[in-house]
Chains A and B, each alone.
Chain A
Amino acid sequence: MSIQSVERYQMAQVFNRRTNKIVRLSIFVGIPLVLALLSTAWWYYTRSDWIRDVGPANAKVQPGGGYSHQLHVGGLKLDCRYCHTGVEISSSANIPPIETCMGCHSQVLTKSAKLEFIRNSYAKDVAVQWNKVHDVPKFVYFNHSIHVAKGVGCSTCHGNLATMPVVYKTQALFMSWCLNCHRNPEQFLRPKSEIFNPAWQPPADQIAQGLILKQQYNIRSKLQLTNCSICHR
């Protein structure tokens, strides 16, 4: 075989031996890397504030621009229970009937254009369809009354409503977040008088106070509170 023919033979190879390394690298490093990147992206995507509707930027649009808790709770200091009458006695805190709005607005701001939809709803007896903000999966049996009775305040889950012109979620409502409190409720427990205080801040010795309250409220053990059927029936 002449030298020329050997060269021609070698030139015929499109990939030389070194490309084997690249192929191996792409299989054993590249593919896992892409998978890792994808799963990391998925992890952050499914936990993002955007997909969980958390924060003022992700507030839901409500009819009539929404009910301003900032004005009514922050400004007028209405108690939560003035409208959410079910919160102490029922699983649902309930959205008030339009009659509750009209109790005041039949006399206060009766000409306001912003309240036109409220007056219409009352006059025509057609419910206003508010958009649900805090929506837990249907396999979660959340009960407001037991949480309120056992020292969990509104703002622990709902944030400081007194500062919100439109309601938004301050918590992503992950199961891990529920369990954080069900495992160690003393982090969040408050005295009876502070349950409905939207601006409540935990004291410096919250854990010590919380442990005392946990005794007082007769709160169940970690084992009982993390039982599946506590929330999933």
Chain B
Amino acid sequence: MQLSMTSLRRIVARVIMLGLFGLAISACHLDMYDQPKYTPLAASDFFKDGASARRLVDGTVSRTGLKIDERTTGHVGGDPAGEYVTTNPISINEGVLARGQERYKIYCSMCHGVNGDGKGIVAGPYSQGPLKLKPPALFYVNQLSAELQKAPDGYYFNIISHGKQNAQGDYTMFQYASRIQNVDDRWAIIAYIREMQKNPPAQK
């Protein structure tokens, strides 16, 4: 095909213009960048409370979270009205203790102390003040701790899972079930606490 110089030039010009036009329109929209979908905890203008994350319906049970046995309830036979279990339902080995230590340091140490002396960095400074916070030491230091040491494993499990209320019904310790979601992690923490109680760290 024979093209004259003029028509060739015209074609080149058109291609360049088309390219520039393409560049211009492609750079001007962000609808893939901000897609109309919810990412975790994103705000929503659809729901009345402004949150895209919906609450679970009361009584919802997760597929693996049915509370029917000692491992998930800490009660003998899985009966919430029954006795606390006295032995740790998971088998304890070095790995479990290491996991327990790690979880203890993350979730417990700020109040109960890194070595379980009840002098954690958050609660410690307040224990002498008007607030009189007394997170119990987890090994023998005072009357409370001595009682705690005798308490069965299931008791610890239920305090971790549901929190601890004082005589007025106020929570002195909130529940940790939402943060330590895996029940085996809770049992690992308990195993580690028992280990600390067996070999209490040196007192200052």
* Partner-B contacts on A (CB < 8 A): 76-79, 81-82, 85-86, 89-92, 94-95, 97, 99-100, 102-104, 106-108, 126-127, 129, 137-139
Contacts and interface: CB of A to CB of B under 8 A. Distances in A.
Contacts of B110: 76-78, 82, 104
B174 A103 contact: yes
A138 B179 CA distance: 27
A138 B34 contact: yes
7 contacts: A82-B106, A82-B110, A91-B40, A92-B41, A94-B41, A137-B33, A138-B35
Interface stretch (B43-51, B79-87, B147-155): B43-51
A137 B37 CA distance: 12
A81 B174 contact: no
A102 B174 contact: yes
Interface string B30-72: 0011110101110100000111000000000000000000000
A76 B126 CA distance: 13
B50 A129 contact: yes
A85 B179 contact: yes
Contacts of A139: 32-33, 35
Contacts of A76: 110, 121-122
Residues of B contacting A: mostly = loop
B72 to A, nearest CB: 18
B174 A106 contact: yes
Contacts of B40: 86, 90-92, 94
A154 to B, nearest CB: 13
B150 to A, nearest CB: 26
Pairs A-B, 4 closest by C-beta atoms: A92-B40, A103-B174, A138-B35, A79-B106
B101 to A, nearest CB: 12
Contacts of A79: 105-106
Contacts of B172: 107
A99 B121 contact: no
A47 B34 CA distance: 19
A104 B179 CA distance: 14
Interface string B96-117: 0000000001110010000000
